[in-house]
Amino acid sequence: MSQVKIGILGGSGLYKMEALKDIEEIQIETPFGSPSDALIVGTLEGTRVAFLARHGRNHHLLPSELPFRANIYAMKSLGVEYLISASAVGSLQAEMKPLDMVIPDQFIDRTFGRMGTFFGDGIVAHVAFGDPVCLQLAKVLGDAVESLQLEGVTLHRGGTYVCMEGPAFSTKAESNLHRSWDASVIGMTNLPEAKLAREAEIAYATLALVTDYDCWHPDHDSVTVEMVIGNLQRNAVNAQKVILETVRRLSKNPPVSDAHSALKYAILTPKDQVSAAAKTRLEFLLQKYFTEE
Ligand SMILES: CSC[C@H]1O[C@H](OP(=O)(O)O)[C@H](O)[C@@H]1O
Ligand SMILES: Nc1ncnc2[nH]cnc12
């Protein structure tokens, strides 16, 4: 199959891309297990893209159960270089209203026990993560939203996404703690993806769709699943328009991204000391650096 350079991870309420044509469902097995579902490869206005519903198309996986490594590795194995995450988030700031769109540029990790690296087992690497999203891809995403002038949707460029473990939503004390950190939005999925995408040298950015005010706002009900899915569905058409416009822009003008060389100085273990097993396991990550002369 020809390389697919653009990937899309659909979150809660976004289980398929309506506009995809010439679809192929691909079951991919990775050294890190099976992805959340088959990857759907199809064409958006002439550009091949890969779509994956991160909780599965029937939403059967909890955030803590997501096979993050298999999902990112499967995208990498198809040749993905740009990965757009579409995610439902709660707002921690009054001005970020339900149905608004936020393009976060920072994360705070409040998860535990998630597997956030492909490395280990005989090969060590430490990637830079000061800027956890690809700022060039985030700009393309923001420009796409702006160009569409979506009614009733305010775009917020930048902001901090708190990634919590879940599955229960936050307590009011936690929500206020996150607000005291000046965080913008909260969700349960994006941080491990961003870390693994960085290790896989894939540019990653998030289109965060605000669905609720979590539980801190005195004038709004506390978040429920019904609220999240209801508001996400009200905004799903807009989200798909944004993704389509972003794909158009990326295929015309793919930005240079620092993420694409994230491993250049990150691997500490000398090449001749890395076991054959590790080289095979990480084939798609290392081939650029470890091809034999
Ligand atoms: C359905 S409410 C909580 C759920 O929604 C968000 O999912 P995603 O990031 O995949 O859109 C949040 O992270 C939780 O997983
Ligand atoms: N308030 C919230 N907390 C965590 N994840 C969410 N996803 C959507 N709304 C959320």
**End-to-end alpha-carbon separation of the chain, Å?**
26
Mean pLDDT score of the chain: 96
221 is catalytic: no
Closest CA to 216 of 96, 89, 92, 88: 92
pLDDT attached to residue 292: 59
Q: Which of 161, 228, 233 to mutate to test the pocket of ligand 2 (most atoms within 8 A of CB)?
A: 228
- Contact between 134 and 198 (Cβ < 8 Å): no
Give the Cα separation of 35 and 75 in Å (integer): 9
CB of 206 sitting under 6 A from ligand 1: no
Which residue's C-alpha comes closest to atom 10 of ligand 1?
A: 11
For the chain, the structural domain boundaries read: 6-287
pLDDT attached to residue 291: 76
- Decide if the complex's ipTM is over 0.95: yes
CB of 110 sitting under 6 A from ligand 1: no
My answer on whether omega of the bond before 167 falls inside 30° of 0, hence cis, is yes
Q: Is the pLDDT of residue 124 over 50?
A: yes
Give the Cα separation of 122 and 258 in Å (integer): 26
Q: Does domain 6-287 have CATH number 2.160.10.10?
A: no
Q: Are strands 155-157 and 21-26 parallel, antiparallel or unpaired?
A: unpaired
Which residue's C-alpha comes closest to atom 4 of ligand 1?
A: 12
pLDDT attached to residue 1: 65
131 is catalytic: no
Q: What is the pLDDT of residues 125-147, one digit of tens each?
A: 999 999 999 999 999 999 999 99
What's the pLDDT band for 81 if we cut at 50, 70, 90?
Answer: very high
Q: How far is the CA of 32 from the centre of ligand 1 (A)?
A: 22
- Contact between 54 and 10 (Cβ < 8 Å): yes
Least distant ligand from the CA of 220: 2
Q: What is the pLDDT of residues 166-206, one digit of tens each?
A: 999 999 999 999 999 999 999 999 999 999 999 999 999 99
Say which residue the tokens 């040749």 belong to.
79
Q: What is the pLDDT of residues 193-243, one digit of tens each?
A: 999 999 999 999 999 999 999 999 999 999 999 999 999 999 999 999 999
Q: Is the pLDDT of residue 293 over 50?
A: no
Give the number of C-alpha atoms closer than 13 A to the C-alpha of residue 11, restricted to the C-beta side. Answer: 23
Q: Which of 16, 85, 87, 193 to mutate to test the pocket of ligand 1 (most atoms within 8 A of CB)?
A: 87
Helix axes 135-148, 225-252, angle to 10 degrees: 100
pLDDT attached to residue 290: 87
CB of 191 sitting under 6 A from ligand 1: no
Q: How far is the CA of 214 from the centre of ligand 2 (A)?
A: 6
CB of 187 sitting under 6 A from ligand 1: yes
pLDDT attached to residue 2: 72
